[in-house]
Chain A
Amino acid sequence: MANKTTDVFICGVGGQGILLASEILSDVALAKGLDIKKSEVHGMAQRGGSVVSHVRFGETIHSPVIAEGEADILASFEKMEALRWIQFVKPGGKVIVNSQEIVPSGMETYPPAIDRKISERVPGTMFIDALKLAKEAGHLRAVNIVMLGAFSHFLGFSEDEWKSAIKARVPKKTIEINLKAFELGRAAVSG
């Protein structure tokens, strides 16, 4: 049963657009006629706290949350957050990390050697500079769609399916920026 389910664990910091990325992923899976459950906790998302979204899809999904050691993909929009949740990735699962550093409030500087600790836990971890790519696409806030593009590479949906889901979700005037952000993210891991 478990092998028919795809588990995508998305994490980062409140305000990074994590929930929009997981909405788009869910739309793509739903449009394919799959069963899907998407779970996150509201209320703190905009206040700079750690934010997590669980997306599970497949033939039949029961639990709406991903448990430790189950995620096929762990996509973290921030470095420290990848380390915080890394136990959720399954052996052999993919870890994709935005190398952006966001200093937690209450701390004055960013802790050292986070990249090394992540790579020690999951050797094949892919780091991408999503902030730079978002800027290149046209807006710093497109980090979430850059990351969506990056992890989309490991899921079996077509580029058109992703793009039509993005178009349906983002504000009209940002469609172009977001499609570009998606392409840059996708190319960053496949290239």
Chain B
Amino acid sequence: MRVLLSGNEAVARGCYEHGVKVATAYPGTPSTEILENVVKYKDDIYCQWSPNEKVAFEVAMGASFGGVRTLVAMKHVGLNVAADPLMTSTSVGGDGGFVIVTADDPGMHSSQNEQDNRYYAKFAKIPLIEPSDSQEVLDFLGTAYEISEQFGTPVLFRLTTRLSHAKTPVELGTRTEVAQKEYVKDTSFRVVIPAHARKLHVKVEKRLESIREYAETSSLNKVIEGDPKVGVISSGISYQYAHDALPEATFLKLGLSYPFPIELAKKFCERFETVYVVEENEPFIEEFLRYAGITNIIGREKIPACGELNQRIVRDSISGEDTAGEKTSVSPRPPVLCPGCPHRSTFYTLNRLKIGSTSDIGCYTLGVMPPLEGIDTCICMGASIGNSLGMEKAIGKEFAKKMVAVIGDSTFVHSGMTGLADVAYNKGATTVIVLDNSITAMTGHQDHAGTGTTLMGESTTKLDYIKLAESVGVKDARRVNAFDMEAVKTAIKEATGSDEATLLVMEGPCALQARSQWGPALVVDSEECTACGLCLRLGCPAISKDENGKATINPLFCVGEFCSMCTQVCPVDCIAVPDKS
């Protein structure tokens, strides 16, 4: 059957068809939908959300020790979190087939950087597979497991946003079961004490050379004949852009690009006067060519390093023209906190109290946008708490009254817990605010250790933030109703006024998950409205000004009494549910 699948859906389908038995992840755009789709096959595949990518990696690795085909998926920066087990897992290898999916984000649609994770394959000395559409994702995943098992190595499988989120036709197959290998204790490769690790390093180098020889003739690397005068080398999604830019050219399309098949590439380059190397972001392929002394290539000198490519950019880069067309200047429309978002009260209050925040990765990072402007820093998962403590240590304890750490519940579970322990241990006065909507909201509502439900839909234990804070030594830890503006204000004032560390858990469900609780849109009594503008300072997308400068509420966006923050900030009580107005 031929169906349309996104690259992420194709990974999940691949897990099913290629006999995977365990799959793990921490959600992160653009990788999230992989596990969300694997769970559709939960009769055949055990799958779970882990608290972070490092744990997800370690669980997957354990499953490989247990002798089954296993997969771990994450976004590109997630692999930084999992880099510790990655770097050593590569010398372990050799049990059940083990594939690590990295979904990179050129153009940074939803990320803090555009690091090119192909370098992790080289750094960790493991094979790198780069599909270029959903059918290849499905097919190449099978090859990835074969390589993993044949050579005894984890395999890095790289997607990018335009593969993960583009839907392309796929021919579905059936599941092939793969026999479980029996676990036999062998410390020579599963216990990496230096005496073993030294031998393992030699093994890894030999393994890499064997895989390079395999890559030279692998069907994943192929020459697509065209114009004998124009040669192009490319991989992944860049190949698709290059093909549209130079449809007549002869291509060397690399699907298994590390260990780099240098003999194949040399032979290809010898056929042409000039070969274009088309790569998004980093010159990964080009560096191997240059290191081998191949000089008739044009890559990074013309193809831009920053942002996504498309066929027009590739064509213009090569021709030197600019056919982008004129952009019209239009007011930006950045994403903002949704109408009814429980996080709004915290940022509104911080803004009114002139308190800044070190913040973190999640929907609430949108609190940086005007008019809330409640965020001073945002670096990586969990950084908020350490950043706040560090500023306090540099500037002085009084500064903690003017700067709080703001972190979402899922991010707190991911890597905020150790930061909180640090605050208590090192006697910080930091106020840590957990914005608890009881879900990983940014990536589309995934469960985590604080929600009480597993990926496979079972009820489970629920992390208690208050008990956790108390156990690490934070004496003042309390829950606050995020939709009660007065309670939020009182809690923040008291917490920042104290000389000791405080944990505030601002509780309120994600509005997008609470649709059943939405009420009829609120309305403004324009006779009563004094055009003071306080409700506009909430930054709610449903509220704007009418031609007289008075507030008006868009009935398509407002979630009604579910939220009601605007009714609480209005000094003249002119916003109400329709029947009361």
Interface residue ranges, A against B (CB under 8 Å): 1, 13-15, 26-27, 30, 35-44, 46-50, 61-65, 67-70, 80-81, 83-84, 86-88, 102-109, 111, 117, 121, 140-141
Q: Is the CB of B110 within 8 A of A104?
A: no
Dominant SS at the B interface?
Answer: loop
Q: Is the CB of B545 within 8 A of A108?
A: yes
Q: A30-B169, A43-B109, A63-B310 are in contact. List 16 more A-B contacts (CB 8 A).
A: A26-B4, A36-B169, A40-B165, A41-B110, A42-B165, A43-B30, A44-B109, A63-B243, A64-B168, A80-B330, A80-B331, A104-B333, A105-B541, A106-B539, A107-B331, A141-B556
B544 at the interface (CB under 8 A from A): yes
Q: Is the CB of A44 within 8 A of B335?
A: yes
Q: Is the CB of B165 within 8 A of A81?
A: no
With a cutoff of 8 Å between Cβ atoms, the chain A residues found around residue B369 in the complex are 105-106
B338 at the interface (CB under 8 A from A): yes
B363 at the interface (CB under 8 A from A): yes
With a cutoff of 8 Å between Cβ atoms, the chain B residues found around residue A106 in the complex are 334, 336, 369-371, 539
With a cutoff of 8 Å between Cβ atoms, the chain B residues found around residue A36 in the complex are 4, 167-169
Of B80-88, B319-327, B452-460, the one touching chain A: B319-327
Interface residue ranges, B against A (CB under 8 Å): 2-4, 29-30, 32-33, 109-110, 133, 161-162, 165-169, 237, 240-241, 243-244, 247, 310-313, 323-328, 330-338, 363, 366, 369-371, 442-444, 512, 536, 539-541, 544-545, 547, 554, 556-557
Contact partner, A63, options B311, B328, B332, B336, Cβ 8 Å: B311
With a cutoff of 8 Å between Cβ atoms, the chain A residues found around residue B312 in the complex are 67-70
A83–B332 CA distance with the chains assembled, in angstroms = 11
Minimum distance in angstroms from A191 CB to a CB of chain B? 27
Q: Is the CB of A39 within 8 A of B162?
A: yes
Given A37-B167, A42-B33, A47-B337, does the pair A67, B539 have CB atoms closer than 8 Å?
Answer: no
Given A37-B166, A70-B312, does the pair A43, B444 have CB atoms closer than 8 Å?
Answer: yes
A81–B331 CA distance with the chains assembled, in angstroms = 10
With a cutoff of 8 Å between Cβ atoms, the chain A residues found around residue B3 in the complex are 30
Contact partner, A109, options B334, B541, B544, Cβ 8 Å: B544
Minimum distance in angstroms from B514 CB to a CB of chain A? 13
Given A13-B333, A43-B30, A43-B443, does the pair A109, B241 have CB atoms closer than 8 Å?
Answer: no
A27–B4 CA distance with the chains assembled, in angstroms = 8
Q: Is the CB of B169 within 8 A of A140?
A: no
Minimum distance in angstroms from B371 CB to a CB of chain A? 7
Q: Is the CB of A67 within 8 A of B326?
A: no
Minimum distance in angstroms from A14 CB to a CB of chain B? 7
Q: Is the CB of B4 within 8 A of A30?
A: yes
Contact partner, B323, options A68, A117, A121, Cβ 8 Å: A68
With a cutoff of 8 Å between Cβ atoms, the chain B residues found around residue A46 in the complex are 338, 512
A20–B58 CA distance with the chains assembled, in angstroms = 38
A39–B4 CA distance with the chains assembled, in angstroms = 12
Minimum distance in angstroms from B338 CB to a CB of chain A? 6
Which residue of chain A has its CB nearest to the CB of B28?
A43
Minimum distance in angstroms from A163 CB to a CB of chain B? 19
With a cutoff of 8 Å between Cβ atoms, the chain B residues found around residue A117 in the complex are 328
With a cutoff of 8 Å between Cβ atoms, the chain B residues found around residue A35 in the complex are 169
Which residue of chain B has its CB nearest to the CB of A90?
B325
Q: Is the CB of B332 within 8 A of A87?
A: no
With a cutoff of 8 Å between Cβ atoms, the chain A residues found around residue B363 in the complex are 47
Contact partner, A26, options B29, B167, B328, B370, Cβ 8 Å: B167
Q: Is the CB of B331 within 8 A of A111?
A: yes
With a cutoff of 8 Å between Cβ atoms, the chain B residues found around residue A30 in the complex are 2-4, 169
A47–B557 CA distance with the chains assembled, in angstroms = 11
Q: Is the CB of A41 within 8 A of B333?
A: no
With a cutoff of 8 Å between Cβ atoms, the chain B residues found around residue A27 in the complex are 4
Which residue of chain B has its CB nearest to the CB of A110?
B544
Given A38-B166, A106-B371, A106-B539, does the pair A48, B336 have CB atoms closer than 8 Å?
Answer: yes
Q: Is the CB of B544 within 8 A of A108?
A: yes
A42–B442 CA distance with the chains assembled, in angstroms = 10
Minimum distance in angstroms from B315 CB to a CB of chain A? 8
A42–B88 CA distance with the chains assembled, in angstroms = 33
Given A26-B167, A41-B110, A87-B327, does the pair A81, B333 have CB atoms closer than 8 Å?
Answer: yes
